[in-house]
Structures are given as structure tokens and as C-alpha cells.
Amino acid sequence: MERKTKQLIFASVVVSALWLAPTPSQAAEWKLGMSHPQIKEVQTLLKAKGFFTYSTATGYFGTMTETAVKKFQASVRLPVTGVVDAKTYAALKAAAANQKTSTNPSAKTKPDTVATEWKVGASGEAVKTLQERLKALGYFTYSQVTGYFGQATAEAVKKFQKDVGLAPTGIADRLTIAKLEEALAKKTKPAILLTIGASGEQVKAVQTKLKALGHFTYPEVTGYFGQATAEAVKKFQASVQLPATGIVDDDTYTRLLQAPKTFDPMELVADAAPLLGKPYVWGGQTPDGFDCSGLIVYLFQKQGITLPRTVVAMWTAGVSVDAPTVGDVVFFQTEGDTVSHAGIYIGNNQFLHSGSSTGVTISAFNSPYWSARYVGAKRYW
């Protein structure tokens, strides 16, 4: 009896769960910042209608997806919210079904025509390519390449046409496209264009450099160009007097790579921690083994600072400080008549160094042995 009761309860729970499960028309709302497999489906549907112009459906709801949703909602006279609610999702599915019917070979359709000019109101991959080329030449300054031919695109076309001696109509006809191709061919190197939605190793390199400069504060380098990356790019651009577009173009990329890294003494100490216990190797400057100056050169190099290779040369190069703080190099005279040993001060009267008998270790700066041989401290940042 007890077993039958449990089976009955279990069956009731299953039936209730099935009854309460959402149908496609009851899909959850998808909006900016979310990730989900169903968002990928939404992007695919939007792409089929020409609204989502990014190369692939990612499953991440970024600003490009939001813009595409708004355009679709406007086209079907839904409230333009940029949020995929149940009504928007249903309309998307219906539009996709209609498209399948219209492309059925048995249906009567007009022959396809190839566009020979693009103007305000046009959309699709061809417009996206046009915007990318105008941006590469410095004419299209809108924050995103959208694939939609709006007023910003028309103005960019007009400026280009005027510069190359064409009538500034704002319409990208065949002659304008030919002139664009000609202008691009004259560029000696390909344009770098990274914006929201981009991904890959180049984005990782940009995020890594922005993080080193203190602009990119997201905890991880992801390789995906999202809103956090765009904001970091804007901060960097403002800091070097470039237009704060949030887009990595040629000028931004070049200035970013050339920008000196902001020195963080705590990063220096953090980089040193895994090296504790590494052996002393005369002339060594790798994790296989270090001498005292080799360890210092190695750690500072990781922070983008190049130091002289020998202790004596380091002593003559730095700026003297009265009392060392974290990241300063402390010098000692252990033999001869000049400095012969050095380490990195890490705070709390301790310094990191590679001793001939200890390897990489931490010693007390104020111990009788080291305090008696202390010569001074230098700063290189």
C-alpha cells in the first residue's frame, strides 16, 4: 500500500512538472548581458531576416543582438524594447516560417536581383562590408559596424565621395564602391578593427595590455570583446587624447602596444612567489636558476622594466631612496670594496634574493648579518 502511494505521488509530480513546463511561446525573456543556447537560436532567426549582422550566432546577448532585436520589433510593429519577450519570440518564429514558405521552390517568386547601389534603409552583409571599409579609411565613425545603412553611413559615404571627386550623394553606387576598393588598396597595411562582438587572440592581446595599464578591470582576460572591454578602450583612448570611440582601430592598437606599463610593486612580489626555492646558478636568469642580479632582472622584465645585468651597473643606474619600500632594490657589500649583492625589498623588513648557498629565498633585512652590510636602496620605477 505504501509503495502504491509513493508511486501515485511520484506520478502526480511528473504530470505537474510537465503541465507547468514553459512552451516556446512562454520562453523566458532574453536581454542584454545574458548567455543561453536559446539566444543563439534567436540570433540565427534574426540573421536569417538580415537584422543580426555578426558573422556567427554566439549565444551571448550583446549590444549587437539588442540592436537587431529593436530593428526587428520595429519592422513588425512591436514595442521597441530590445528585449526578446514571448511576443517577440513568437513573431520571430512566424517570420522564419513565412520565409521558408516564400523560398519554397514550388512557390511563385520573382527572379533574384543583385543590388548595384546602397542607400539609407538598406541592410545586410554588403552594407556591413561597406561600413567596415569606410571605417578603415576613417570615414565611418559610428561606434559599431551594424550592417544597417542609416544617416551615419550616408554621411560617411558623402565625405568619401567629396574627397575622391565624386558627387556627394550619400548613395554607395558602383563607382563609389570602385573608388573605395582603390583607396583601400593604397593602404600599406590592413586596418585593425576590433569592436563589441569580436573575439580571438587579438582581443586577448588588447585586454592583456589594457589590464596591465589598469583600464581593464574584469577579473579574467576572456578574448571576447564585450561592454567591459569597450569601456576600457574608451578610458585608454581618452588618456592618450584619441577619440573615445571604444573601438580598436589602427591608431588605438599602435598606441596601446607602445604604451608603457604601469608599474605595480605588488605584481612584482606576486611574480616572485613561485620562484622561491629555485637554485642559485652563476649567470642564471631563468626559472632553471638565478644569480642575485639575474633574479632581479628577470622579475623587473616581467613588469616591462629593463635593468642592467650586473649588481654594480644596477647601483649606478637607479634613483637613491632613503628608506626602501616594496619593489625597491636593496644593495649590500658582502665582499670587495663596492656593492656585490642585491635583492628586492618586499616589506616587513624582508627582502627577496638569490643567495649562493640558499638559492631564491627571503631574508630578514634587519638581521645582524644583512644590516651590517647594507649599502643603500634604489628605485627604478
Cβ count near 129 (within 10 Å): 16
pLDDT digits (tens, 9 = 90+) for 303-350: 877 788 999 999 988 788 999 999 999 999 999 889 999 999 999 999
Which CATH code for domain 201-258? Answer: 1.10.101
Within 8 A by CB and 6+ apart from 107, the residues are: 101
**Residue 26: pLDDT band with limits 50, 70, 90:** very low
Q: Which residues are catalytic?
A: 292, 341, 353
The arithmetic mean of pLDDT across residues 282-288, rounded, is 93
**Residue 28: pLDDT band with limits 50, 70, 90:** low
- The pLDDT, as a whole number, for residue 10 is 35
Answer with the residue of higher pLDDT: 158 or 110: 158
Which CATH code for domain 18-97? Answer: 1.10.101.10
CATH domain 125-186 topology: Muramoyl-pentapeptide Carboxypeptidase; domain 1 (1.10.101)
Query: Lowest-pLDDT range, 12-26, 128-142, 208-222, 241-255?
Result: 12-26
- Segments of the chain assigned E as strands: 285-286, 289-290, 319-321, 329-332, 341-347, 350-355, 359-364, 374-379
Are the folds of 201-258 and 265-379 the same? no
Architecture of domain 265-379: Alpha-Beta Complex (3.90)
**Residue 376: pLDDT band with limits 50, 70, 90:** very high
pLDDT digits (tens, 9 = 90+) for 78-109: 888 889 988 888 888 887 776 554 444 443 33
- The pLDDT, as a whole number, for residue 104 is 46
Pairing relationship of beta strands 319-321 and 374-379 according to DSSP bridges: antiparallel
Give the HSE-up count for residue 284: Cα atoms under 13 Å, Cβ half-sphere: 20
DSSP-assigned letters across all residues of 342-361? EEEEEETTEEEEEETTTEEE
Q: Where are the domains of the chain?
A: 18-97, 125-186, 201-258, 265-379
